[in-house]
Amino acid sequence: MKLLRHDIRLILKGLREIGRLRRHLLSLSIITAALEAIYPFINIYMTGLIIGAIALKQEWKTLVLLVCITVASNLLMLLLLNALNSKARIWEQEFDILYERKLNCKFANLKYEETEDPSVHALKEKIRELKNMSGKGLVFILSSFRSVVKSSVSVAAAASLVYPLFISYDNSENGRNIINSPVFSVLLLACIIFNVFLNMNSNRKITQKMYTILNNMIPFNKVFGYYLDSYISTYHAGKDIRLYNQKEFIDSEIKNLFDENVNPTVERLGKNESKYRTLTTVSAVFISALTYLFVGLKALLGMFDVGMVVRYVGSINEFTNAISVFMTQFTLLRSNSEALALYFDFTEKPEQSEDGFRTIGIDSFDNAASFEFEFKNVSFKYPGSDNYALKNISAVIGFDRKTAIVGKNGSGKTTFIKLLCRLYTPCEGQILFNGTDIREFRYEDYLSLMAVVFQDFQLLSAPVGQNVSAGSDYDEDTALRCLDEVGLRERIESFPAGLESFIYKDFDQSGIEISGGEAQKTALARALYKGSPLVILDEPTSALDPIAEFEIYKKFNEVAEHKAVIFISHRMSACTLCDDIMVFDNGMLVQTGAHGELLKDKSGVYFELWSSQAQHYIQR
């Protein structure tokens, strides 16, 4: 009983969620389902009247009137149902889009640490797989709820038409036999109920087995979907597929997966269904025969006319089917609880970093302004790790200063930047902005302070101008100026549509394929366009040659006057342009100072890093 209450609460919660995503969709589904349930009974009722009128040899005018009413009722009902179903299909498509949007927007609003958690990605994929493979989850409630409503109305309508059959008896001398006794009525009802439970149990077992079989297909679908959707269908993979003859490899992989998974699965699904359907078919035939016998014998005894035979037989069949569907769909709704729980586990995860209450006016940071970021004894471990990524870091980043952060791979450089950007929160210590803990500031205000270009930056398949502004609207002069400052203006102006030229071909066949270096310059232009007082470059120029990278950094120093700039690069040449250098090693800040000062310490990490690269540029 406790489990039943839990399942019902989840179902009701799912219905409320559907109502939030697409208003009035459930109301439309209820109305449509109710009319679909009533529709068969119009013909059952009217056919009974017409046949009864014929048997009683009523006037032809009566027959014509009944036929006209039947035709008009059918026509009106069909027109109404077509209109409602057409509207329902549109709303259901909208709901499907809104459902996907909800999942994607939720992922975009999660705390950053959640987006790097493999279990969160696995949860999101599991929700999609259950929807795509077996229709489970929130979408399933929509279709199943409609079936429940339809079957409920059908049961009520059938019961209202057939109940006189079971309560009317002939107590005359001629009517005293087993057919007219309550015993036969109870026997028929018992058989109907038995058939319903047999159908329900069979459908439950078929469905459970089907979901088990289909769940085993999920790993196959991941691989299959990767090759067909994520790899072959993207034009980026075209060169590798041809140059390395990957087509044969992919073909063989798909064929093997198909032979090992799809064919056996289809065979198992067929055997599973035929095993249970045989029994339910025999039972249904037996109930139909018993129903016809019961109703026919009562009609022969004169209990009612032949028209009522049609009404009663049709209504009993509808009742039997409807109650079976109701019980089956309710069972399926309960079996959907696991998928629903996964959906709500994901959508109810906490979002973004905690918001503060202090505001920051970005406009106040003009050429005369000053600011300071300070790390005070900051230590940090990634979630699920026992090892410190950063340990006891104390450092100051000031206004109008150029800072280089260097160190070997895994030394903690990027983690330092993630903490500064509030993507993560320190486990120990504080990060201050002008003496105030950064968590006290409104999140959006705080982010306005900085423009960051990470090494794994992303560009949109959108016009160049929108990529530079990171929005649908942009100031053309500002965008061109920023592109000019990174050395890309001439290239962009050579495009047919200039700033309106699409990058990549995903949405525009005339889209421009830019090189890796040009993509990085576009990302740098985006950082300049934002106009923040702090610019952070986390190895964004790896696709450029050393000379081009040095020129970009040099240019940045010129255009970023009165800004704080942080350079993170494996190429040490950027350090000569900086006022301050921070050297990380094994998660610790081991050296700070200017370039010349740090080179004097020949036993230090900085000298080792500088010397290891300098030897490659010394002419021999």
- Ramachandran region, residue 15 (left: φ > 0; alpha: ψ -120 to 50; beta: rest): alpha
Q: How far apart are CA 24 and CA 485, in angstroms?
A: 53
pLDDT value, residue 351: 77
Q: How far apart are CA 259 and CA 257, in angstroms?
A: 6
State how far Cα 130 lies from the chain centre: 11
Residue 545 backbone phi and psi in degrees, to 5 = -75, 165
pLDDT value, residue 307: 78
Poorest-confidence range of 137-146, 178-187, 475-484, 599-608? 178-187
Contact 456, 470 (CB under 8 A): no
Alpha carbons within 13 A on the beta-carbon side of 612: 11
Q: How far apart are CA 385 and CA 116, in angstroms?
A: 13
Average pLDDT of span 302-329: 81
Residue 422 backbone phi and psi in degrees, to 5 = 65, 25
Average pLDDT of span 565-571: 82
Q: How far apart are CA 98 and CA 19, in angstroms?
A: 12
Name the token pair of 295. 């109703």
Q: Count CB-CB contacts under 10 A for residue 521.
A: 27
Strands 436-437 and 428-433: antiparallel
Residues with Cβ within 8 Å of residue 173, at least 6 apart in sequence: none
Average pLDDT of span 530-558: 74
Q: How does the average pLDDT of the chain come out, rounded? A: 82
Kindly tell me if the per-residue pLDDT of 358 is higher than 50: yes
Q: List, in sequence order, every residue forming a beta bridge with 617; answer none if it has no partner.
A: none
Average pLDDT of span 230-256: 71
Helix or strand run (H / E) with residue 122:
helix 118-134
Q: List, in sequence order, every residue forming a beta bridge with 589; answer none if it has no partner.
A: 584
pLDDT digits (tens, 9 = 90+) for 471-486: 888 999 999 999 988 8
The C-alpha angle with vertex 455 and arms to 452 and 457, in degrees rounded to 5, equals 65
Query: For residue 314, which amino acid is it?
Result: G
pLDDT digits (tens, 9 = 90+) for 360-375: 865 545 444 578 899 9
Kindly tell me if the per-residue pLDDT of 170 is higher than 60: no
From the list 254, 268, 194, the residue with the least C-alpha distance to 222 is 254
Per-residue confidence band for 38, with pLDDT thresholds at 50, 70 and 90: very high
Q: How far apart are CA 521 and CA 531, in angstroms?
A: 16
Name the token pair of 365. 């940071």
Virtual torsion, Cα 324, 326, 329, 333, nearest 10 deg: -140
Q: How far apart are CA 595 and CA 312, in angstroms?
A: 97
pLDDT value, residue 367: 44
CA distances from 10 to 151, 207, 350 (A): 21, 20, 20
From the list 314, 41, 294, the residue with the least C-alpha distance to 169 is 294
Average pLDDT of span 404-419: 90
From the list 300, 331, 214, the residue with the least C-alpha distance to 262 is 214
Per-residue confidence band for 73, with pLDDT thresholds at 50, 70 and 90: very high
Q: How far apart are CA 250 and CA 244, in angstroms?
A: 11
Q: Which strand ranges, in their side-by-side order, compose the sheet holding 388-398?
A: 388-398, 372-381, 428-433, 436-437
Query: For residue 236, which amino acid is it?
Result: H
Question: What's the whole-model pTM score?
Answer: 0.73
Contact 42, 76 (CB under 8 A): no
Contact 340, 10 (CB under 8 A): yes
Poorest-confidence range of 80-89, 158-167, 291-300? 291-300
Contact 613, 600 (CB under 8 A): no
Name the token pair of 393. 């870091």
